[in-house]
Amino acid sequence: MDGGGSGTAAAGAGEAPEEQGRVAKLPEMQSAEPELGEELRRARDDYNMATGTISSLQRQLEIQESQLRRTKAEKEMLQKKLREQENQLQAMSAKFCSLTEQKHEEVMVTIEKENHRLQQVVTEQESKLAEQNKLISELQETVNQLQAEVLTNRSHIHKQQRDQEVIQREAETLQHRELQTRVALECVTSKFERYRSKIIQATFSAAGSKAPQAEVTDEEVLEAMQKIINQRQEFHQMLKQKGIKVPSLHSIDTPTPSPTSAKGRRKSPAR
C-alpha cells in the first residue's frame, strides 16, 4: 500500500509543471480578445463617421448645384435683357432715319444720351455677366471637388467594411479557441485536483501520519510526503544494520522535490 501511494505521488509531481504551463498560456489568448473588440469598435466608429461625412457632402453638393442652376438662369435673363436693349437701340436708330431733318439735331442729342445710357447698362450687364461666369466656374470646381471627396470616402468606407469583416471573423475564431481552451482547462484542472486528492489521501493515511484538521497547502503535502519517505529510509537502514534482509527501496523511492516545484499556494479541504 505504501508503494502505490508513493508511485501516485511521483506521477502527480511529474505532471504538475506541464499542466501549469498550459494554464499560463490562457491569459495570452484572453488578452487578445479585448484588443480585437476595441479594434472592431474603432472600425465601426470610423464607418459611422464616414457615412455622416458623405451625407453632409451630398447635401452641400445639392446646394451648390441648385445655386449653379440659379446663376445660369440669371445669366440667361441678363443676356435676354441685353438683346432687348440692343433691339431698342436699333429701333431708335431706324426711327431716327424716319424723322425729318428739322428735328435731326434734337433727336441726335436724345439718341446720344440714350445711347450713352444704354452703353452704361451694357457695361454693367457685361460686368455682372463676367462675375456670374466666374461664380459658375468656382461653383463647378467646388462641385468637382465634392464629387471627388464623395468617391474617396466611399472607397474608404468599402475598405473599412472589408477590414471590419476580417476583424469580426478573427474575433469569432478567437472566441471559439477561447471556448476550447476553457473546456480543456476545466478538464486539466479536474484531473489535477483528482491527482492531488489521491496524493493527500495516500500521504495522510500512512501509518504514523496525523490526519489534517484544516485545509493543507501544497507545501504541507510535500513536507508530509518527504517525512514519510525519510522515516521509511531510516527504518530500512536500521533493518539492514541488524542483518535483516529487506528489498531495495530504489523501485519505490520518490525524489526530493525541488524548491521551485513546491511554490503552489492552492489549498485543499481535509480528507
2-268 fold = Helix Hairpins (1.10.287)
User: Element (H or E) spanning 220, and its range?
Assistant: helix 218-241
Q: What is the DSSP letter of 209?
A: P
Beta strands in the chain (DSSP E): 216-217, 267-268
C-alpha cell at 92: 431708335
**pTM of the predicted model, to two decimals?**
0.36
Query: What span, in angstroms and rounded, lies between the C-alpha atoms of 239 and 237?
Result: 5
Which secondary-structure segment (H or E) carries 151? helix 104-204
| Secondary-structure percent of the chain, ordered helix, strand, coil, rounded to 5 | 85, 0, 15
Q: Which of 256, 259, 240, 260 is nearest to 248 (CA)?
A: 240
What's the pLDDT score for residue 101? 62
The residue extents of the domains of the chain are: 2-268
pLDDT given for residue 212 in this prediction: 61
pLDDT in tens, the chain (271 residues): 444 444 444 444 444 455 555 545 545 555 566 777 788 888 888 888 888 888 888 889 889 888 898 998 888 898 888 888 888 888 877 776 666 666 667 777 888 888 888 989 999 999 999 998 999 999 889 999 998 999 999 998 999 999 999 999 999 999 999 999 999 999 998 988 887 788 777 777 765 556 665 677 778 777 877 887 888 888 888 888 887 777 776 554 444 444 334 344 444 444 3
- Give per-residue burial for 18-57: e unless 16+ CB within 10 Å, then b: ebeeeeeeeeeeeeeeeebeeebeebeebbeebeeebeeb
Separation of alpha carbons 197 and 243, rounded Å: 38
Provide the 10 A C-beta neighbour count for residue 97: 8
Any long-range contacts for 226-229 (C-beta under 8 Å, 24+ apart)?
226/256, 226/257, 228/2, 228/203, 229/6, 229/253, 229/254
Backbone phi, psi, residue 269, to 5°: -70, 150
Q: How many CB atoms lie within 10 A of CB 80?
A: 10
